[in-house]
Amino acid sequence: MTTPNFADDTQGRELENLLMLAMNEPAQRPAFYRTLLESTVLVLTDNTAPQGEVVLEAGSPLSLQVWEKQDGTRALPFFTSLAALQRAIEGEHPFLALPARVLFEMTQGTELFLNPKNEYGKEFTAQEVALLLQDGGVNKPQERVVEAGHEYLIGQPEHYPAAMVDALTTLFSQRKPVRRAFLALIHDKAHDEQPNLLVGLEVEGATEQEIEDLIQEAGSVASEALGDNEAVDFCLVSEKERGISHYLIQHTQPFYQRRWGSWLRNIIPSSGIA
């Protein structure tokens, strides 16, 4: 394992910005978790650090610092950047750079804390770390197949879930395959005691895996924005299909619709014409 040069701390600044956004915006959390798992982070070590580049061989002894929190419990600190680390300690101290995923794998069962003593930080319980390694930090949705001829009631919610809609709109604006998104209330009496919110997604140009990842992220974002006792279902819709697709596309207005102008601005260079 090699300790990289952190003179260019672009990655750390991007991750810190996502952390700041994720603190208050559920729609930003999937992007934060995804970027974190792809990032290199810094940990404090009790090992004597030689000068320059360090290569760790498999089985190399490694002692990482664990700090005591105000409540008396202990957590392993790690940092997004050299600047974040320097804000948390006084003087010089040996540290190690390694991929966040490797850190999570080698410290499973340990509580961790990202950027302690910084303006924005996050605690990771052992359960959260396990979820990150398994599903990227978002809960996996349960898949249900509705058979032909199955009866269900569908309509519009009496109380509009504005917080969920706002969070999903932010998420979908970052996901190019989402063309439109629709909202309804659905009741499957054979399966649910109470009606559930239903979000219909019209997507294009996406693989099955990309669609699965999208619904997984959307479900996590929606759950964060909704109350504890509220549930939401997701389905794919198409103008070529009947049933739920027909109702949502023909009888409701999309709460999200992709803006073509924003994509065109990214594709078409400025001509300089006044």
- Asked whether the domain spanning 153-264 has the same topology as the one spanning 10-135, the reply is no
Check if the beta carbon of residue 190 is closer than 8 Å to that of residue 213. no
pLDDT of residue 265: 47
Q: For 44-58, write each residue's pLDDT tens digit.
A: 987 555 444 444 544
Q: For 142-153, write each residue's pLDDT tens digit.
A: 555 555 556 778
Residue 215, H or E segment? helix 208-225
Model confidence at 266: pLDDT above 60: no
CATH architecture for the domain at 153-264? 2-Layer Sandwich (3.30)
Q: Where are the domains of the chain?
A: 10-135, 153-264
φ, ψ dihedrals at 111, nearest 5°: -80, 140
Query: Would residue 115 be called left, alpha or beta, if left means φ above 0 and alpha means ψ between -120 and 50 degrees?
Result: left
User: Which residues fall within 8 angstroms of residue 82, CB to CB, at 6 or more apart?
Assistant: 6, 9, 12, 42
The CATH number of the structural domain formed by 10-135 is 3.40.1350.90
φ, ψ dihedrals at 171, nearest 5°: -65, -50
pLDDT of residue 145: 54
**DSSP category for residue 26:** G
Check if the beta carbon of residue 64 is closer than 8 Å to that of residue 76. yes
The CB-side HSE value for 62 (13 A sphere, CA atoms) comes to 18
pTM above 0.85, yes or no: no
Model confidence at 180: pLDDT above 70: yes
Model confidence at 112: pLDDT above 90: yes
If one compares 230 and 130, the residue with the highest pLDDT of the two is: 130
